[in-house]
Structure 1
């Protein structure tokens, strides 16, 4: 199956899952998330944010509320219908648009922060994706990938045949990546200062989930200088 066909099947899956996926975020401590995002992004509201695989707008609406110009992009219209509804409820001015994280409709070096939540394990061509993200990222800009991970191990996507299509699932080459493999994915595609940081206190007590981590890296200038 060609990649285009795989992506169409993934899109259909998330359209179907939109209702239950939206309900999943009821388990999150939104105030703790706002504080964590504010610490990671900083207080300079002149920096923009692109939320890839935005889904129901979980991250995008929070970064917009923090004052950052924010765009959320996703292949699933049904997921983004929830994002727009939540934006109205939260008085968020985030903008949402349909698109693929493998081919982004933005000019080179125009984005300060690229963020995503539970996206990286779904990537069918992760190296191509990271290089595309790097293309639109400004020198000194950062990529931040938020994921629940098994501590000291890495991604722990427990389901087998998630998309109910073995060929599609075989394309999920990052699904069970260890922490070292995730860091190497960013490093081999040109990011520096790559690290994985645990984000304690984000999930509400009483929910037996793997803890949240953020995989981060920074883009250097063409001369190899790290711009802060």
Structure 2
């Protein structure tokens, strides 16, 4: 499938999921977990000599969780997403912050910003979903200023489609969630459509974040750091039970 066709199909899927995804973000905003997220991002953000707000780019902002909490924390935030419906939800969730956050519809593979425009890039659960993640990383590197950082949170969300051991772990997660009586975050979505998309993107079948480190180093990122246990600080018990076989990692690169 060509990039243009893929983007259209991807957008349709996420537009359909916007309402449910939005509720997840609303729940996060109401919880104390947002404080842990802010602390993690702040502690890894770049430090410059000037006295001004850091310019932050939230790529694949979804319904606005990162954009909202970072704007509240005093950052100058720009939020981009390819799905118009997600951007509408993000603006709605932002409330009084709507006019402070700059929302743009944009393809993460081809950012339409000036070179060196941002001090910090944040993104969550996006790179696995890209048709050409290496191209996207190059675009992100370009819009970072020298000394700026990218903080990416992601996981091997659909490796179970290609790896038998991961498939068994995934099925075990589903059984454990059922026995617990908690909501299953997979079965409450259109699994068939999501798995169809997942099979079309390269990172579904690649064990990460080792792949990311190699690519970021090749592009020119330096001081690359990986934390494969970041999920222990950011997930609640329901998330840990749902995603036990796909623990979230954090990877940071500096320009």
State the TM-score bracket (shorter-chain normalisation).
Answer: 0.7 to 0.9
| Partner in structure 2 of residue 174 of structure 1 | 203
Contact 1:61 1:92 in 2 (8 A): no
Q: Number of paired residues?
A: 212
Equivalent of 1:100 in 107, 124, 127: 107
| Partner in structure 2 of residue 205 of structure 1 | 237
| Partner in structure 2 of residue 37 of structure 1 | 41
Question: Structure 1 residues 68 and 162 mapped into 2: Cα distance closer, same or farther (>3 Å)?
Answer: farther
Question: Structure 1 residues 42 and 190 mapped into 2: Cα distance closer, same or farther (>3 Å)?
Answer: closer
TM-score using structure 1 length: 0.83
| Partner in structure 2 of residue 195 of structure 1 | 225
CA RMSD in angstroms comes to 2.4
TM-score using structure 2 length: 0.75
User: Which structure's CA Rg is the greater one?
Assistant: 2
Contact 2:158 2:195 in 1 (8 A): no
Unaligned residue ranges in structure 2 (runs of 5+): 162-190
Is the partner of 2:78 in helix, strand or coil?
A: strand
More strand by share: 1
Take 2:62 and 2:75, find their aligned partners in 1: how far apart are those partners?
18
* Deviation of the 1:37 alpha carbon: 2.1
Unaligned residue ranges in structure 1 (runs of 5+): 150-154, 220-228
Contact 1:162 1:169 in 2 (8 A): no
| Partner in structure 2 of residue 68 of structure 1 | 75
Take 2:192 and 2:116, find their aligned partners in 1: how far apart are those partners?
35
